[in-house]
Homo-oligomer: A and B are copies of this chain.
Amino acid sequence: MAKNNNTISGFPEWLPQGRLIEKFMLQTLEEVFALHGFQGIETRAVEPVSRLLSKGETSKEIYLLSRLAARNSNETESDPNKQLGLHFDLTVPLARYVEENAGHLTFPFKRFQIQKVWRGERPQEGRFREFVQADIDVVGQETLPFHHEVELPLVMGEVFARLGLPPVVICANNRKLLQGVCEQAGISQIEDALRGLDKLDKIGPELVKEELLKAGISAEGADLLLAVAKISTSDPQELRSQIDALGLSGELLETGLNELCELLTEGERQAPGLLRAELKISRGLDYYTGTVYESFIQGHEDLGAICSGGRYDNLVSVGNKKYPGVGMSLGLTRLLSRIFAANLLSVSRPTPTAVLVAVNNEDSRGESLAVAQALRARGIATEVAERPLKFGKQIKYADRRGIPFVWFINEDGHEVKDIRSGEQVPADPAEWLPPTEDLFPQVFPAQANN
């Protein structure tokens, strides 16, 4: 059981064994991101409310802060530039960080950021009020080559492959392609069109069509959009021929289609099976301008998208300078909640400790401490027994904690016992090493139980 008795709905906590699995994931993410040259940053948990409200549509989900002392004295903060709220994503903070520090950063700025975010929305399965997001973004100065739109899903794909989870598919679309379709179909209500598509999986094509008609889109336009939204393929040739079959063309559409085809081609070359064009994907947020992504775990599509993002050209600017970017955000807590619920990963033991050094009597605790320190100096996590009980009880103590080895200091030398096999051998604290797989707790794919 990795989940604990959580007492505030939407604010998950894990037991130590769950935290080890989370930590394994965090380390995997950081390692892969760093291998690809992303610089890690953290931003403060708070932003002025004015800034939180300036992008996107999540205003209702913001947690405001007030000081208890100020509330008692009836001070209230009404200036939205001074009123602070907890950040609800890591994109708004990134935009602000780049604005403030552009002069100290090198561009393209490749950054990763893994932090908790907060949303005051109704908690439900897979939705939390406090959760960890892991974001990568590449932000250029004035320009940003398209190849970064190919780079990001491949980096995330490498993360997924290393985590030992069921395969992940990153579904992609392109806003230029969708806008091109709208142009062709005479649809000027582009935001309504995108928002309609975004609801397709939730409410189905009939209701989406109703909404599109209500927004003033023609029946022909709506039908064309819904036909485009059905296109789903990982083959660039097929993508192109299906678009052709709908009689679609135009410059913006061509640009978007070329980009999407290049993404599929490069994706197939570097990570076969990872990427698929899924033309119903539009992403609700209005700041995307190129490729958009949503990722799903095979067999766990009901969990929803676990990693999303896209290209944005107009999110960040300083004076006259534009900073176009592309980013992806992985919902780590949502992923973890499923990993725990479906038992997708296990950990070999709940404690970092590999060795318990037994204590013969309280006066000789110093000798046991010295052995422990010698083992730690060589990277072996070691505890010293709590009390000089009978050895059988000290072994039980190790067993209860999940510690695999117990070290004994005898008059004629030291011995170490693997308490799982019962094997006991002479050992020297300056030389003995546990088997590699016992050095640290190991995380591995477990038998799924549902």
A interface residues, Cβ below 8 angstroms from B: 1, 4-5, 7-8, 11-16, 19-20, 22-23, 34-46, 48-49, 59-71, 84-86, 97, 100-101, 104-106, 108, 110-111, 116, 118, 120, 130, 145, 147, 266, 269-270, 350-353, 365-366, 369, 373, 376, 379-383, 386-387, 400-402
In the bound complex, do residue A101 and residue B5 qualify as a contact, i.e. CB atoms below 8 Å apart?
A: yes
- B contact residues around A66 at 8 Å (CB): 63-64, 66
Return the contact of A39 from the options B13, B351, B376, B379 (Cβ within 8 A): B351
- B contact residues around A12 at 8 Å (CB): 44
Min CB–CB distance A124 → chain B (angstroms): 16
Tell me the complex Cα distance, A202–B250, Å.
75
**Residue in B closest to A115 when the chains form the complex, CB atoms:** B116
Most buried by B among A16, A48, A59, A70: A16
In the bound complex, do residue B67 and residue A63 qualify as a contact, i.e. CB atoms below 8 Å apart?
A: yes
Return the contact of A41 from the options B19, B64, B147, B352 (Cβ within 8 A): B19
In the bound complex, do residue B8 and residue A44 qualify as a contact, i.e. CB atoms below 8 Å apart?
A: yes
- B contact residues around A63 at 8 Å (CB): 65-68
Return the contact of A366 from the options B48, B59, B269, B351 (Cβ within 8 A): B269
In the bound complex, do residue A71 and residue B67 qualify as a contact, i.e. CB atoms below 8 Å apart?
A: no
Tell me the complex Cα distance, A118–B26, Å.
23
Q: Given A37-B353, A104-B15, are A64 and B65 neighbors across the interface (CB < 8 Å)?
A: yes
- B contact residues around A49 at 8 Å (CB): 68
In the bound complex, do residue A376 and residue B35 qualify as a contact, i.e. CB atoms below 8 Å apart?
A: yes
Min CB–CB distance A377 → chain B (angstroms): 9
Tell me the complex Cα distance, A100–B4, Å.
8
Min CB–CB distance A232 → chain B (angstroms): 26
- B contact residues around A41 at 8 Å (CB): 13-16, 19
Tell me the complex Cα distance, A197–B147, Å.
64
In the bound complex, do residue A130 and residue B20 qualify as a contact, i.e. CB atoms below 8 Å apart?
A: no
- B contact residues around A1 at 8 Å (CB): 104
Min CB–CB distance A257 → chain B (angstroms): 19
Please give me the 10 A-B residue pairs with the lowest Cβ-Cβ distance, nearest first: A37-B383, A34-B352, A67-B120, A16-B39, A11-B44, A37-B353, A60-B69, A62-B68, A35-B376, A63-B65
**Residue in B closest to A401 when the chains form the complex, CB atoms:** B106
Tell me the complex Cα distance, A85–B381, Å.
36
Q: Given A37-B352, A60-B69, are A45 and B15 neighbors across the interface (CB < 8 Å)?
A: no
- B contact residues around A48 at 8 Å (CB): 8
In the bound complex, do residue B67 and residue A16 qualify as a contact, i.e. CB atoms below 8 Å apart?
A: no
In the bound complex, do residue B104 and residue A4 qualify as a contact, i.e. CB atoms below 8 Å apart?
A: yes
- B contact residues around A270 at 8 Å (CB): 369, 373
